[in-house]
Amino acid sequence: MQQLETDYLVIGTGAIGMAFVDTMLDESDATFIMVDRHHMPGGHWNAAYPFVRLHQPSAFYGVASTELGSNRIDETGSNKGFYELASGPEISAYFEKLMRERFLPTGRVEYFPMCDYEGDKTFRSLLSDQQYTVKVNKKVVDATFFKTTVPSMHKRGFGVADGLTCIPPNDLPRTAAGYKRFTVLGGGKTSMDTCVWLLDNGADPDSITWVCPRDSWVMNRTGTQPGTAFFETTVGSFADNLDAMRDATSVEDLFARMEASETMLRVDPNVEPTMFHYATVSKGELEQLRRIKNVVRGQRVERVETDHMLMVNGEKVGAEPDTLYIDCTARAVPLKDDELTKTVFQDDLITLQVVFAPLLTYSAAIIAYVEANFETDKEKNSLCAPVQLADTPAEWMPSTLGNMWNSFNWSQNKELRKWTDQCRLNPNAAAIREGAGKDPAHKELIGRIRQNSMPAIMNVQKLIAESNSN
Ligand SMILES: Cc1cc2nc3c(=O)[nH]c(=O)nc-3n(C[C@H](O)[C@H](O)[C@H](O)COP(=O)(O)OP(=O)(O)OC[C@H]3O[C@@H](n4cnc5c(N)ncnc54)[C@H](O)[C@@H]3O)c2cc1C
C-alpha cells in the first residue's frame, strides 16, 4: 500500500471532474489527485460512437479556462448557420491536452489513470496489485454521480436470436455496408443521430425501421446559440418560453405553446411526446427524421427473432432476416435510481451535480468557484441547489425553475455574478461580453423577460402542484 497526500481527491476525470479542477486551479492554491478507470481523461467520450457530436455549441462546453474548437459557424450540413458542434474525438483530444498541457505542468495535479476507486480514500491500479491510500487534507470530490452510460458500455436489455446481428452504433460505419435493412432501437438522441447517419449516408428511408418506445420533445437549436448575432433567437426563445409558462393551463398546453413559438419541436406533430431529455436538434435533422415512415411506437423490444420482434407487451412486429439491428437503448443518465439528487457540499465530500440544467460542465465550474470562494457548507449549498435532470415533459418545469432560482441567487452576489458573466461556459457570457442588449429590439426582449418572470414562475408552480397531485 502506497501512502499519498493531497488537498482534494477527485474520483473521475470525465467532463465534470475536469471542469471542477480547472476552475479550482485558477481560484485556489490547492493540490489534487485525480483517479479514473479510463486510460485518458474525458470519461464516456472515450467510448462514444464515431459520429457523435455535442448537442450544444462547443463555444460553451468543456472547462472554463480553455476554448473548445474555434467558435466557427458551420457553412454546410444540418448544422449550417449555427456554431460548430465538437465531435467525440475532438472532445477526447481536448481533455487529454488539458491534462497534459495545463493540469500536470502546474505541479499541483497528480493523475492516476487505469485505477479503480474502492472507497475510503483508497484506490487500486487495474494493471497491478498496487494499492494507494490518500491522506486528504480538504475534501473528496465525487465526479461519478451521473453514472453516464453510452451504448458501447451498457448491457443489452433484450434478447437476440442466433444468427442475427445487433450492434452498438459504434460499429455502424464498419458493419453497415452490404445490409439493405436497418432497425434502430431506442427513442433518444443516439437513435436520432443513428437514423440521420443512415439517411445522410444513402440508406433508403423505407429500409429503416425505428423502434421508438417514447416520443420526445426536442429543443430547437436556434434557441441555444451564443452571442449578439443570435441574441434575438436565443434570448427570444427564453422570452417565448416565459410567455408559455405564464399562460399555460396544463403541461400539454405548455409544450403546445412552446411548439407554436418553435422553441420546442417534435418528430411527429400527431404524437404527444412523453419524454424530455434536453436533446437539441436543427430543423434540418428533424426533416431527415420525418422521412422515416416505419416507426414502431410505444413499445419496447423483449427479443428479436429472425422473422419478428417480440415486444414487451407480447405483440409481434414483423421483421426480415437480413436486417442489421442497432442498439441505441442505453440511458445516458440512469435517472430513476433511488437517489436523483444529493446535497452538493457535505462536510468533507463534494458531489458534483447539475446546478444549471442541462449544462454539466458549467455546473461543475460554478461548484468549484463556490468551493474556493465561500466559507460554510450552508452558504455554499444555498448557491448550489442541485437541479434534477428531466425525464418527462412535466419534469421540464421544476428543472427550469431550478435554473431560474440558482441564476437569481448567483446574480445577488457581486463577485459570483462578475465571474459567471465572463465564464465561457455560461451560454449568455458571449452576449454580455459583446455588449448586447442596447439595441431597441434587445431592450424590448429584456423588458418582456423582466415583466413575465414572476407570473411565469407562479403559474408553473401551480402546474407542478397540479401534476404532483395527479
Ligand atoms: C451522446 C451524448 C451527447 C452529449 N452532449 C452533451 C452536450 O452537448 N452538452 C452537455 O452539457 N452534455 C452533453 N452530454 C452529457 C454528458 O454526459 C456530459 O456533458 C459529461 O460528459 C458527463 O461527464 P461526467 O464527468 O459526469 O461523466 P463520465 O463521462 O461518465 O465520467 C465519469 C468518470 O468517472 C470514472 N469512474 C466512475 N467510477 C469510478 C471508480 N470507482 N474509480 C475510478 N473511476 C471511476 C469513469 O471511468 C469516468 O471516466 C452528452 C452525453 C451523451 C451521451
Per residue in 343-384, pLDDT tens?
999 999 999 999 999 999 999 999 999 999 999 999 999 999
C-alpha cell at 163: 444468427
Centre of ligand 1 to C-alpha 387, Å, is 17
Distance from C-alpha of 403 to C-alpha of 354, rounded to nearest angstrom? 9
Which among 34, 36, 95 is the best mutation to test ligand 1's pocket, defined by most ligand atoms within 8 Å of the CB?
36
Taking 60 as the threshold, does the pLDDT of residue 335 lie above it? Answer: no
Query: Which atom of ligand 1 is closest in space to residue 85's alpha carbon?
Result: 8
pLDDT band at 330 (very low <50, low <70, confident <90, very high): confident
Centre of ligand 1 to C-alpha 283, Å, is 27
212, 297 in Cβ contact below 8 A?
yes
pLDDT band at 437 (very low <50, low <70, confident <90, very high): confident
Lowest-confidence range among 106-110, 180-184, 279-283?
Answer: 279-283
CA nearest to 291, candidates 195, 362, 167 = 195
3-class DSSP state of 5: strand
Is 49 a pocket residue for ligand 1 (Cβ < 6 Å)?
Answer: no
Centre of ligand 1 to C-alpha 274, Å, is 25
Is 146 a pocket residue for ligand 1 (Cβ < 6 Å)?
Answer: yes
pLDDT band at 458 (very low <50, low <70, confident <90, very high): very high
pLDDT band at 435 (very low <50, low <70, confident <90, very high): confident
C-alpha cell at 355: 446546478
Centre of ligand 1 to C-alpha 152, Å, is 14
Centre of ligand 1 to C-alpha 150, Å, is 9
User: Which residue's CA is the nearest one to ligand 1's atom 53?
Assistant: 332
Alpha-carbon distances, residue 380 vs 180, 366, 425 (angstroms): 56, 10, 20
Centre of ligand 1 to C-alpha 49, Å, is 14
Centre of ligand 1 to C-alpha 146, Å, is 7
Distance from C-alpha of 373 to C-alpha of 360, rounded to nearest angstrom? 20
What's the confidence (pLDDT) of residue 341? 82
Taking 90 as the threshold, does the pLDDT of residue 255 lie above it? Answer: yes
What's the confidence (pLDDT) of residue 334? 57
Strand ranges of the sheet holding 208-212, from the earlier edge strand across to the other edge: 165-167, 323-327, 181-185, 208-212, 294-297
89 vs 151, higher pLDDT: 89
Distance from C-alpha of 325 to C-alpha of 194, rounded to nearest angstrom? 11
User: Which residue's CA is the nearest one to ligand 1's atom 11?
Assistant: 359
150, 48 in Cβ contact below 8 A?
yes
pLDDT band at 336 (very low <50, low <70, confident <90, very high): low
Query: Which atom of ligand 1 is closest in space to residue 91's alpha carbon?
Result: 21
Is 117 a pocket residue for ligand 1 (Cβ < 6 Å)?
Answer: yes
Centre of ligand 1 to C-alpha 323, Å, is 32
CA nearest to 331, candidates 304, 300, 306 = 300
Calculate what percentage of the chain has a pLDDT beyond 90: 88
347, 331 in Cβ contact below 8 A?
no
Is 197 a pocket residue for ligand 1 (Cβ < 6 Å)?
Answer: no
Q: What is the mean pLDDT of residues 143-148?
A: 86
3-class DSSP state of 297: strand
| pLDDT, the chain, mean | 94
Taking 90 as the threshold, does the pLDDT of residue 451 lie above it? Answer: yes
Query: Which atom of ligand 1 is closest in space to residue 359's alpha carbon?
Result: 11
Centre of ligand 1 to C-alpha 51, Å, is 17
Centre of ligand 1 to C-alpha 14, Å, is 5
Query: At a CB cut-off of 8 Å and minimum separation 6, what does 370 contact?
Result: 380, 383, 384, 416
39, 114 in Cβ contact below 8 A?
yes
> What pLDDT, in 10s, does the model give residues 74-95?
999 888 999 999 999 999 999 9
Query: At a CB cut-off of 8 Å and minimum separation 6, what does 409 contact?
Result: 382, 383
CA nearest to 250, candidates 434, 465, 6 = 465
Is 14 a pocket residue for ligand 1 (Cβ < 6 Å)?
Answer: yes
Phi, psi values for residue 243, rounded to 5°:
-60, -45
Classify domain 2-148+337-407 at the CATH topology level.
Rossmann fold (3.40.50)
Is 57 a pocket residue for ligand 1 (Cβ < 6 Å)?
Answer: no
Is 285 a pocket residue for ligand 1 (Cβ < 6 Å)?
Answer: no
| Per-domain boundaries in the chain | 2-148+337-407, 150-215+267-332, 225-265+437-470
pLDDT band at 154 (very low <50, low <70, confident <90, very high): confident
Could you tell me the pTM of the whole model? Answer: 0.95
User: Which residue's CA is the nearest one to ligand 1's atom 51?
Assistant: 332
Centre of ligand 1 to C-alpha 252, Å, is 31
Centre of ligand 1 to C-alpha 186, Å, is 20
Give the type of residue at 284.
G
Cβ count near 77 (within 10 Å): 12
User: Which residue's CA is the nearest one to ligand 1's atom 31?
Assistant: 14
Centre of ligand 1 to C-alpha 221, Å, is 22
340 vs 225, higher pLDDT: 225
> Count of alpha carbons within 13 Å of 433, Cβ hemisphere only?
14
Distance from C-alpha of 421 to C-alpha of 279, rounded to nearest angstrom? 25
Q: What is the mean pLDDT of residues 105-126?
A: 98
What's the confidence (pLDDT) of residue 324? 98
Calculate what percentage of the chain has a pLDDT beyond 70: 98
Classify domain 150-215+267-332 at the CATH topology level.
FAD/NAD(P)-binding domain (3.50.50)
Query: Which atom of ligand 1 is closest in space to residue 150's alpha carbon?
Result: 53
Distance from C-alpha of 309 to C-alpha of 324, rounded to nearest angstrom? 13
Q: Give alpha helix (H) positions in 412-439.
A: 414-422, 429-433
Cβ count near 269 (within 10 Å): 9
User: Which residue's CA is the nearest one to ligand 1's atom 25?
Assistant: 14
User: Which residue's CA is the nearest one to ligand 1's atom 34?
Assistant: 12
What's the confidence (pLDDT) of residue 436? 87
